[in-house]
């Protein structure tokens, strides 16, 4: 069976986290289809990344090194990745749904005339039956590309049964990395490219790096506050609980819109996707768009005055009560038991 | 110099304001209950084109592929200052995914011929895919800059734009022609002009005529006819249009079912909270 490939995105000469997350998923998909997992790595001076890619699950690396690929630009990158795909003939190619991943993948799909599903949050392998004009066609081991649609109000499963490769971009933060410490070598297939001058017309004049002041994925504990927290002043209690537990503060969009906290902390469909060991949702009702970004958390505690709040439907522990009353108790109890 | 600009605009269901009856009990979307709007970031795209027109002069052609009712976004474009508008409407175009959409748009652009800039929105809110822009650029073999929040400089043959990246932004300089996709940050779209609204309020496309009664058609002296192109007008192969030209298929649409984990109700009392904290500590989740 043909391979499952992951396009490896380099950001500031480092492999983007999402690329490693995708290698984890690609291994699962490959296993289900009795295939191997591979990486597409292009750029300049990139050999130092080989070991990491093998450790994170690539069996083969398809690589093109060329000075003209030093920085991302749509034209030369499209040409190079298409050449690799045409040579390696994978069944599936996955891309991170980053700004540049979503710039590149559609061009490749357009050139190869294949399907592409944007911003998936889940991928599975399964069978598919197509009925057309009374005829039934059965497909085995098709890629199910699962994503929220219509502003997050529904979940759609998309398939692309008749075209190869099947391609999808996948949200950062939703797939789990799988590190395999035993293997750090594998096969490297070097593919040469010849990029004509007329494709080298994008010149990067300046890049501005804005450091996010929080990395929501840096901690295994998140304490998130919502509209129910009521004010910026009250949010201090959220910060205090987070600090006590050694966690990070998150927020719903309503809390961000109300200026209780800045947008870097937003969790959900239009914010960051997280999957900490523990997620404490305080004064968050649990609308679909919020849940989309945190439902994979290992354990969820919900604190809400409304016993019918939808957040309780996905919570593992629910405390019906006013956070002003509950949080100080949590802090005090934790400190006592810790001693 | 004066520029030839093509703007890509889509009519979309207003997914940001989904109310109760917009979702059917089986979890599918009741499209009829959703009002349709001008895709928000396409208004930003149009505004960027209008800014260029104000500063340097431009001919702006707005292109939309959709059902006859999508002519409304073309009227809205005329009200704001577009020079020419084209409706790509044909039963054969229906149910297109992004690949089939970009095929039709690219053929229409080839028919229009000359362009310096193609400007679209970053993404359409019905699918949030952000794919149609790059896919159209590829078919036309032109360069692209996506997620553009500012056009910094425009000369006769080059353009400098600022675009968002995952870690901030970058400024890039490249040649014309180019396709840009514009984000909401780029500008605040202007409202329709009163004068232009009066001029174009009766603008109709031929296929819309069926929706209006005789009286109405007779009453307006000379309705501006919005151009309507079908697959023959743009020389499109029907097997590459609409549903048949779409590699992706929707297998299943589901309502979001919240999974109930093993839920424990924790009593809001000293002992309830103590048990919770102990449990989490013993499992090394906190501590
Ligand atoms: C296209 C789109 C994208 C979106 N993206 C996101 C996203 O990324 N992230 C996101 O979060 N939202 C997003 N939203 C918004 C989302 O739909 C909700 O509006 C938002 O999540 C609600 O935030 P909330 O739960 O904090 O506020 P509310 O829904 O107002 O809930 C407040 C809760 O606090 C409880 N409460 C009140 N007082 C107390 C108290 N004293 N103690 C304890 N509990 C109390 C209330 O019972 C209530 O349940 C998006 C919406 C759209 C349309
Ligand atoms: N049917 C269409 N007609 C005209 N422009 C479109 C159409 N579909 C998408 N576009 C353009 O492509 C952009 C991205 O759309 P999407 O890939 O659907 O998110 C939109 O903001 C529009 O500018």
A104 CB neighbours in chain B (<8 A) are 134
Model confidence over A200-234: pLDDT tens digits? Answer: 999 999 999 887 778 888 889 999 999 999 999 99
pLDDT at A30 > cutoff 90: yes
Q: Decide if A162 touches B, using CB distance below 8 A.
A: yes
Q: Give A270 or B139, the one with higher predicted confidence.
A: B139
Domains held by chain A: number: 2
Ligand closest in space to the Cα of A283: 1
Same domain, A185 and A234: no
CB contact under 8 A, A110 and B134: yes
Q: Pocket around ligand 1: residues whose beta carbon is below 6 Å from it?
A: A 151-152, 226-228, 252-255, 266-271, 283-285, 287, 289-290, 293, 303-306, 309, 322-323; B 16
Residue A244's pLDDT is: 95
Q: For the whole model, what pTM was predicted? A: 0.88
Residue A132's pLDDT is: 78
What separation in Å is there between the alpha carbon of A154 and the centre of ligand 1?
18
Domain end among A167, A199, A231: A199
CB B148 within 8 A of CB B182: yes
- Measured CA to CA, the distance from residue A4 to residue A184 in angstroms comes to 19
Residue B262's pLDDT is: 79
What separation in Å is there between the alpha carbon of B171 and the centre of ligand 2?
24
Arithmetic mean of pLDDT, A9-25: 96
Same domain, A193 and A221: no
Phi, psi dihedral angles at B281 (to 5 degrees): -70, -40
pLDDT at B212 > cutoff 80: no
What separation in Å is there between the alpha carbon of A270 and the centre of ligand 1?
13
Arithmetic mean of pLDDT, B21-42: 75
- The helix/strand/coil state of B284 is coil
Same domain, A148 and A220: no
Domain end among A199, A224, A254: A199
Domain end among A199, A224, A240: A199
Same domain, A42 and A113: yes
Q: Which residues lie below 8 Å from residue A135, measured CB to CB, with a gap of 6+?
A: none
Which is the closest atom of ligand 1 to the Cα of A266?
9
- pLDDT bin (cut points 50, 70, 90) of residue B216 is low
- Measured CA to CA, the distance from residue B245 to residue B237 in angstroms comes to 9
pLDDT at B152 > cutoff 60: yes
Residue B258's pLDDT is: 59
pLDDT at A170 > cutoff 70: yes
- pLDDT bin (cut points 50, 70, 90) of residue B206 is confident
- Measured CA to CA, the distance from residue A230 to residue A258 in angstroms comes to 9
pLDDT at A308 > cutoff 80: yes
On whether residue A34 sits in a domain, the answer given is yes
| Bridge partners, residue A279, by sequence | A222, A300
- pLDDT bin (cut points 50, 70, 90) of residue B256 is low
pLDDT at B28 > cutoff 70: no
Same domain, A149 and A286: no
Q: Give B260 or B144, the one with higher predicted confidence.
A: B144
Buried/exposed code over A156-187 (b: 16+ C-beta within 10 A; e: otherwise):
bbbbbbebbbbbbbbbbbbbeebeeeeeeebe
On whether residue A31 sits in a domain, the answer given is yes
Quote the mean pLDDT of chain B. Answer: 90
Model confidence over A62-113: pLDDT tens digits? Answer: 999 999 999 999 999 999 999 999 999 999 999 999 999 999 999 999 999 9
CATH code of residue A50:
3.40.50.620
pLDDT at B22 > cutoff 90: no
Q: Give B223 or B96, the one with higher predicted confidence.
A: B96
- pLDDT bin (cut points 50, 70, 90) of residue B214 is low
Q: If residue B276 lies in a helix (H) or strand (E), which one and from where to where?
A: helix B270-282
State the best of B25, B266, B270, B276 to mutate against chain A, taking most chain A CBs within 10 Å: B266
Residue B253's pLDDT is: 83
- pLDDT bin (cut points 50, 70, 90) of residue B170 is very high
CB contact under 8 A, A106 and B130: yes
CA B77-B82-B84 angle, 5° bins: 105
Phi, psi dihedral angles at B73 (to 5 degrees): -70, -25
Residue A146's pLDDT is: 95
User: Domain span at residue A326?
Assistant: 216-338
Same domain, A175 and A220: no
CB contact under 8 A, B98 and A106: yes
Same domain, A246 and A116: no
On whether residue A273 sits in a domain, the answer given is yes
Same domain, A60 and A187: yes
- pLDDT bin (cut points 50, 70, 90) of residue B145 is very high
Distance from CA of B152 to the nearest CA of A (A): 12
CB contact under 8 A, B254 and A154: yes
- pLDDT bin (cut points 50, 70, 90) of residue B149 is very high
Residue A210's pLDDT is: 84
Q: Whose CA is nearest to atom 4 of ligand 2?
A: B64
Residue B261's pLDDT is: 63
Q: Which residues lie below 8 Å from residue A40, measured CB to CB, with a gap of 6+?
A: A5, A6, A7, A8, A62, A63, A81, A84, A85, A93
pLDDT at B176 > cutoff 90: yes
pLDDT at B26 > cutoff 60: no
Same domain, A40 and A87: yes
On whether residue A211 sits in a domain, the answer given is no
On whether residue A99 sits in a domain, the answer given is yes
Residue A162's pLDDT is: 96
CB A206 within 8 A of CB B152: no
On whether residue A88 sits in a domain, the answer given is yes
Q: How far is CA A43 from CA A7, A63, A84, A230, A286, in A?
A: 12, 8, 13, 49, 42
Q: Which residues lie below 8 Å from residue B175, measured CB to CB, with a gap of 6+?
A: A201, B143, B157, B158, B159
Model confidence over A310-338: pLDDT tens digits? Answer: 999 999 999 999 999 999 999 999 999 98
Reported ipTM:
0.88
Residue B21's pLDDT is: 64
Same domain, A113 and A55: yes
- pLDDT bin (cut points 50, 70, 90) of residue A142 is very high
Place of tokens 């969820």: A300
- B3-245: what fold? Rossmann fold (3.40.50)
On whether residue A207 sits in a domain, the answer given is no
Question: Quick one: closest CA in B to A111, which residue?
Answer: B138
Residue B210's pLDDT is: 67
Q: In terms of C-beta density within 10 A (0-12 exposed, 13-18 middle, 19 or more buried), how is residue B84 classed?
A: middle
Quote the mean pLDDT of chain A. Answer: 94
- Determine how many CB atoms are found less than 10 A away from the CB of residue A198: 9
Q: Which of B69, B88, B124 to mutate to test the pocket of ligand 2 (most atoms within 8 A of CB)?
A: B124
On whether residue A205 sits in a domain, the answer given is no
- pLDDT bin (cut points 50, 70, 90) of residue B35 is confident
CB contact under 8 A, B247 and A160: yes
């Amino acid at each position: 069976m043909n391979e499952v490939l992951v396009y490896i995105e380099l950001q500031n000469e480092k492999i983007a986290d999402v690329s490693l997350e995708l290698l984890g998923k690609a291994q699962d998909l490959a296993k289900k289809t009795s295939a191997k997992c591979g990486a597409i790595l292009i750029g300049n001076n990139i050999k130092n990344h080989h070991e990491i890619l093998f450790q994170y699950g690539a069996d083969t690396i398809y690589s093109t090194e060329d000075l003209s690929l030093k920085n991302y630009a749509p034209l030369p990158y499209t040409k190079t990745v298409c050449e690799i795909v045409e040579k390696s003939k994978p069944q599936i190619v996955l891309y991170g749904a980053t700004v540049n991943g979503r710039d590149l993948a559609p061009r490749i799909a357009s050139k190869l005339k294949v399907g592409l599903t944007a911003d998936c949050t889940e991928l599975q392998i399964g069978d598919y039956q197509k009925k057309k004009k009374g005829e039934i066609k059965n497909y085995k081991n098709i890629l199910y590309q699962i994503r929220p649609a219509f502003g997050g109000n529904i979940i759609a499963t998309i398939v692309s049964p008749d075209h190869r490769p099947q391609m999808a971009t996948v949200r950062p933060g939703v797939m789990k990395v799988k590190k395999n410490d035993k293997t750090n070598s594998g096969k490297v297939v070097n593919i040469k490219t010849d990029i004509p001058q007329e494709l080298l017309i994008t010149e990067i004049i300046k890049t501005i790096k804005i450091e996010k002041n929080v990395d929501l994925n840096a901690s295994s504990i998140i304490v998130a506050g919502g509209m129910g927290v009521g004010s910026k002043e009250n949010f201090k209690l959220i910060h205090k609980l987070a600090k006590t537990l050694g966690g990070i503060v998150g927020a719903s969009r309503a809390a961000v819109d109300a200026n209780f906290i800045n947008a870097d902390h937003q969790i959900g469909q239009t914010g960051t996707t997280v999957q900490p060991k523990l997620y404490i949702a305080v004064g968050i009702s649990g609308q679909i768009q919020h849940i989309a970004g945190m439902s994979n958390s290992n354990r969820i505690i919900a604190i809400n005055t409304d016993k019918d709040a939808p957040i309780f439907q996905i919570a593992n522990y629910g405390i019906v009560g006013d956070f002003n009353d509950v949080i100080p108790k949590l802090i005090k109890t934790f400190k006592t038991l810790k001693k | 110099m004066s520029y030839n600009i093509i703007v890509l605009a889509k009519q979309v269901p207003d997914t940001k304001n989904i109310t109760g009856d917009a979702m059917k009990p089986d979890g599918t979307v009741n499209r009829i209950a959703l009002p349709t709007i001008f895709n928000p970031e396409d208004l930003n795209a149009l505004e960027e084109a209008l800014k260029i027109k104000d500063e340097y002069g431009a001919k702006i052609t707005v292109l939309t592929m959709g059902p006859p009712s999508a002519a409304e976004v073309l009227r809205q474009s005329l009200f704001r200052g577009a020079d020419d508008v084209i409706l790509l409407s044909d039963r054969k175009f229906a149910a297109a995914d992004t690949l089939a959409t970009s095929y039709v748009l690219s053929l229409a652009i080839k028919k229009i011929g000359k362009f310096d800039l193609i400007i679209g929105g970053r993404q359409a809110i019905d699918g949030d895919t952000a794919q149609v822009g790059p896919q159209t650029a590829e078919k036309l073999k032109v360069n692209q800059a996506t997620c553009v929040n500012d056009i910094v400089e425009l000369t006769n043959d080059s353009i400098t734009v600022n675009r968002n990246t995952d870690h901030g932004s970058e400024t890039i300089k490249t040649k014309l022609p180019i396709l840009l996709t514009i984000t909401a940050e780029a500008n605040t779209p202007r409202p329709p002009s009163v004068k232009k609204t009066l001029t174009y309020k009766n603008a109709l496309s031929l296929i819309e005529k069926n929706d209006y009664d005789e009286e109405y058609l007779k009453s307006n002296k000379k309705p501006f006819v919005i151009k309507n192109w079908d697959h023959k007008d743009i020389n499109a192969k029907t097997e590459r249009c609409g549903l048949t030209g779409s590699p992706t298929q929707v297998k299943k649409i589901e309502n979001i079912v919240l999974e109930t984990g093993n839920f424990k109700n924790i009593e809001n009392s000293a002992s309830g909270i103590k048990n919770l904290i102990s449990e989490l500590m013993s499992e090394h989740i906190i501590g």
